Structure 1
Amino acid sequence: REWQNNLPLGIYTLYNTPTPPAALPGSAEKDFALLGTHNTNGALCLIAAKSPSGRSISIFSALTIEGLDVNAHIAAIVGEIQHEREWKSFGGDARLALPLAKGLVAAQGKEVEVLQTIHGSAVTACTLSERAKKGVEGVLTPDHGIVQVLFPRDEDKWLLPVAQMLREFHAEANDREFSIEYCTRGVRSMVSRGDVWVYVIGDRPVAGCYLNCPTRCGKSIGHLHTILEHRRNGYAETLVGEVCRRLLIEQGLGYLTLFYRPGHPLERIYRRIGFGTGEGGGARKRLLRRWMLE
């Protein structure tokens, strides 16, 4: 059974209703196609979410995974979509996503390779920490601030420094070297969408983050980076907390997500801000694995 929905299921504790959650006002366009399986009692069990044209798919469970015949439900989903397109990327709890990946790519005569394991977590206006909700006004000294980078206003003073931070992020986090020209083009593109935020001291950005993966109701925070000499001062936590407050509280965004490697020091920062906390918070922290075909 397939329907349309524009809320990602990963932020729900359970998804056990026969109809999708209501969309936010003004959210008419369709972001995800959903395919669900049911048990003999008619209860919704597994839900696969796919974009209309992309080659990635995520899978979630409306019930406790331990009580499901996972293989049977996965086989039903695979049978419905295996010939739609060549699937490249899979997300969700590994107990669901790995069997789904194997089933889909087996029909293509290929194998699955686990590239990376990361945790995903979400925050909403309800789960945002009280400290973050208070904001930074009156807390930061006059020469410190949180700024959304906008062009052409900020181009002359911040384009190159922000591009350099992006370059340093990739070198440190992903062990990849990109030219400053390449990073500058990337920053220009993100700034044009209003997706670059920085912590500044005077006129110098010392920490930054970027927003991506937009849906009608939310976005994902990524590429969080603090310049080496300014670390251990709480700038990253302050930046992310204030970005969350402005987007969730002031602008009414439905949710923000982010991903991190298990055990990374940033995990503590994110939890203090409210990611993966509150009622149902444990379900918001999902094991995400991505697979690529050989």
Structure 2
Amino acid sequence: MTVQLHPSPSAFEPVAGAVYRANPVLFTNELTALRTSPWPAGQVLLSVSDESTPVGAAVQIRGAVLLVSGLPPHAAAAAASALAEVQPDLPEVRGTPEAATGFAQAWQNVTGAQVLPGTTDVLYRLGELAPPLGVSGDWRPAHDEDTDLLSAWLDAFYVEAFGSEPDIDAARVGLQAIYDAGGQILVWTAAGVPVCMARVHACIEGMARIGPVYTPPEHRGHGYAAALTSVASRAALDRGVRDVVLFADAANPVSNRVYRRIGFAAVAENVRYQFTPMADAAR
């Protein structure tokens, strides 16, 4: 097998893009990540080919997390060996259970890193939309004057969902990146006060993802997230999107129940594995 590391999405796409386009729902994270411009230096774009036929691909995203759903287990060893040459301190992978477990085992074999299981996310696809009734308030598009609030909410979301360190400056950059990638941010207000936000990603290959959806703790329990997710879903459908998808933390029964109630059905899982380099693990 031949492993290639590509410098940019434009170089990666002709070689490995077909791997992701074959299933836009499953590869929603990868396809949206490839819209990042400019592509960060050193951020991995990897393809695996067998006799010139692409058989696997992996893309690195925010936080140096490597998305490996597109790497079948039989390609994991070759990919791990090549990646260890350029990024031996890879911190984390995410993907379907089969792909992520296969790569994690290969990475441990190649580098000796300690492997720790992380969180599990459920990938949902919208069936028949069933908006909730009786939720107080209404939605609106985000405005320029919302920038400080939305940046703070994004920062809080990353801390809560991924255990990130607070970084308001990075959140501001992330907020601008949403707009630069063609996404929308919707806000739910109650009594004129913003209480919830939701991102709608740009349509790619007939698919659009919603998320993050974030309600500050003091505003939870009123149905705002369900209502705004329904609005975001309808906005995507009205733009001609075929598949509306989103992720939910498998350990959060409330969000999973909410998404099922408004018409989403689980189609896959994503698991995470975190790596500690051998030298660090031995300390």
**Per the shorter chain, which TM-score range?**
0.5 to 0.7
Distance 1:79 1:116 in 2: 21
Structure 2 residue 185 is the aligned partner of structure 1 residue 183: no
Deviations 1:82-119 (A, max 9, x none): 44434744333434422332114422x23242252212
Residue ranges of structure 1 left out of the alignment (5+ in a row): 13-30, 37-46, 62-72
Alignment correspondent of 1:148: 141
Contact 2:60 2:67 in 1 (8 A): no
Of 68, 72, 81, the match for 1:58: 68
Contact 1:92 1:289 in 2 (8 A): yes
Of 201, 204, 207, the match for 1:218: 207
TM-score, normalised to structure 1, is: 0.62
Of 267, 271, 277, the match for 1:288: 271
Contact 1:92 1:288 in 2 (8 A): yes
Q: Give the alignment of 1:52-201 within 5 angstroms.
A: 56-59=66-69, 74=73, 76-86=74-84, 88=90, 89-107=92-110, 109-124=111-126, 127-129=127-129, 131-132=130-131, 144-149=137-142, 154-156=143-145, 158-176=146-164, 178=166, 180-192=168-180, 193-201=182-190
What displacement does 1:240 show? Answer: 1.0
Contact 2:48 2:75 in 1 (8 A): no
What displacement does 1:272 show? Answer: 1.4
Aligned partner of 2:272: which letter?
R
Distance 1:112 1:248 in 2: 44
Residue ranges of structure 2 left out of the alignment (5+ in a row): 2-14, 27-44, 278-283
What displacement does 1:3 show? Answer: 6.0
Contact 2:77 2:103 in 1 (8 A): no
TM-score, normalised to structure 2, is: 0.64
Distance 1:223 1:274 in 2: 18
Aligned partner of 2:207: which letter?
G
Question: Cα RMSD (Å) of the superposition?
Answer: 3.9
What displacement does 1:162 show? Answer: 1.8
Aligned partner of 1:189: which letter?
A
What displacement does 1:207 show? Answer: 0.5
Structure 1 pair 8–84 and aligned structure 2 pair: CA distance change class (3 A): farther
Structure 1 pair 10–189 and aligned structure 2 pair: CA distance change class (3 A): closer
Aligned partner of 2:76: which letter?
V
Distance 1:174 1:49 in 2: 24
Structure 2 residue 228 is the aligned partner of structure 1 residue 228: no
Aligned partner of 1:56: which letter?
L
Structure 1 pair 204–237 and aligned structure 2 pair: CA distance change class (3 A): same
Give the percent of matched residue pairs that are identical in Structure 1 and Structure 2. Answer: 15
Farther-moved stretch of structure 1 (159-168 vs 2-11): 2-11
Distance 1:55 1:263 in 2: 22
Greater helix proportion: 2
Distance 1:112 1:219 in 2: 35
Contact 2:248 2:255 in 1 (8 A): no
Structure 1 pair 57–225 and aligned structure 2 pair: CA distance change class (3 A): closer
Alignment correspondent of 1:40: none
Distance 2:223 2:83 in 1: 45
Structure 1 pair 115–48 and aligned structure 2 pair: CA distance change class (3 A): same
What displacement does 1:206 show? Answer: 0.5
Structure 1 pair 259–269 and aligned structure 2 pair: CA distance change class (3 A): same
Deviations 1:245-264 (A, max 9, x none): 21134432533231313243
Distance 1:117 1:10 in 2: 23
Distance 1:112 1:56 in 2: 16
Structure 1 pair 242–253 and aligned structure 2 pair: CA distance change class (3 A): same
